[in-house]
Amino acid sequence: MIELDDLPELENAVLIAAFEGWNDAGEAASGVIEHLAQLWDAEPVAALDPEDYYDFQVNRPRVVSEGGQRRISWRTTRILVATNTSLGRDVILVQGVEPSFRWRSFAIEIMELAQAADVTTVITLGALLADVAHTRPIQVTVTSDSEDTRHRHDLEASTYEGPTGIVGVISDAAIQVGISSISVWAAVPHYAHHTPSPKATRAIVSRLEELLDGTIDHEGLDDDARAWENGLDALASEDSEVAEYVESLEEAQDTAELPEASGDAIAKEFERYLRKRGTDD
């Protein structure tokens, strides 16, 4: 259990959570938590007992060396608090690995923490692989199941139905206990999933600035995003098939941004690309 006695008194706190694993394509969501923790010198105040939630054959502990001493480091979920932020409010950061089991109990622990800290808003971060081009702005979708929250931030309700990750469970748990909940998802090019995606991390940070009505220093994210994009440009320049595919994604995205764009238009564009590939083969 989280030891709530260790939690300092917070002001107008917001809780931001991201988890490695299924919800974290290109490490884009967990990268945001790492960035904010470093930027604001967030202090770790608690950790969930890994014995309760993790399969150690899936998330194996690691041997680490500190000060000449070797010890075991257990993968888990940590709670960090930032009280010196650029937002004029305190922030709780939840950083960890998607649990292996007992998700409902896990979510209850997080909500007990949020209620004890008088958290006003829970923001969950995720990233998914999508048919998008690395050369275009990263698409970030922001939704909420709370009508008041949607009205306040001009958001849409999610229409997704299907399997969900721990961020979906936590978002729902927040609504159940009466805390405003916002879900932020970035679309990461599926052909670049094998490397971290700082451009997607940067895009999520920008949306957080809008949602929280403040500024967040981008530090090295801009440089890292340019380096990431340049690296993929170089890959495309060396492989004509990759270059052609990226071009087709660019055309589809550009079409989608036109006023007359529709799902049918995008589908037809992709069909055109497949037909062309079939002819070339």
Q: How is the chain split into domains, by residue range?
A: 4-219, 239-280
The tens digit of pLDDT for each residue in 72-109 reads 988 899 999 999 899 989 999 999 999 999 999 999 99
Is domain 4-219 classified as CATH 3.30.450.40? no
The C-alpha atoms of residue 24 and residue 1 are separated, in whole angstroms, by 25
Strand ranges in the chain using DSSP code E only, listed in sequence order: 14-20, 43-47, 62-66, 69-73, 78-82, 91-97, 121-130, 140-143, 180-189
Lowest-confidence pick of 62-76, 104-118, 198-212: 62-76
Instruction: Write out pLDDT tens, residues 239-272.
Output: 788 788 888 888 888 877 655 544 555 555 566 5
Helix (H) or strand (E) holding 59: none
Size of the chain in residues: 281
What tens digit of pLDDT does each residue of 147-196 get?
889 999 999 999 888 999 999 999 999 999 999 999 999 999 988 878 89
Task: Give the predicted TM-score (pTM) of the model.
Answer: 0.86
- Quote the pLDDT of residue 261: 45
User: What is residue 182's predicted lDDT score, i.e. its pLDDT?
Assistant: 97
- Of 92-96, 111-115, 273-277, least confident by mean pLDDT is 273-277
Using alpha carbons, list the distances in angstroms from residue 118 to 31, 185, 211: 26, 25, 19
Position of tokens 């010890």? 71
Of 9 and 97, the one with more pLDDT? 97
User: What is the per-residue pLDDT for 278?
Assistant: 62
12, 11, 10, 34: which is closest to 202 by C-alpha? 34
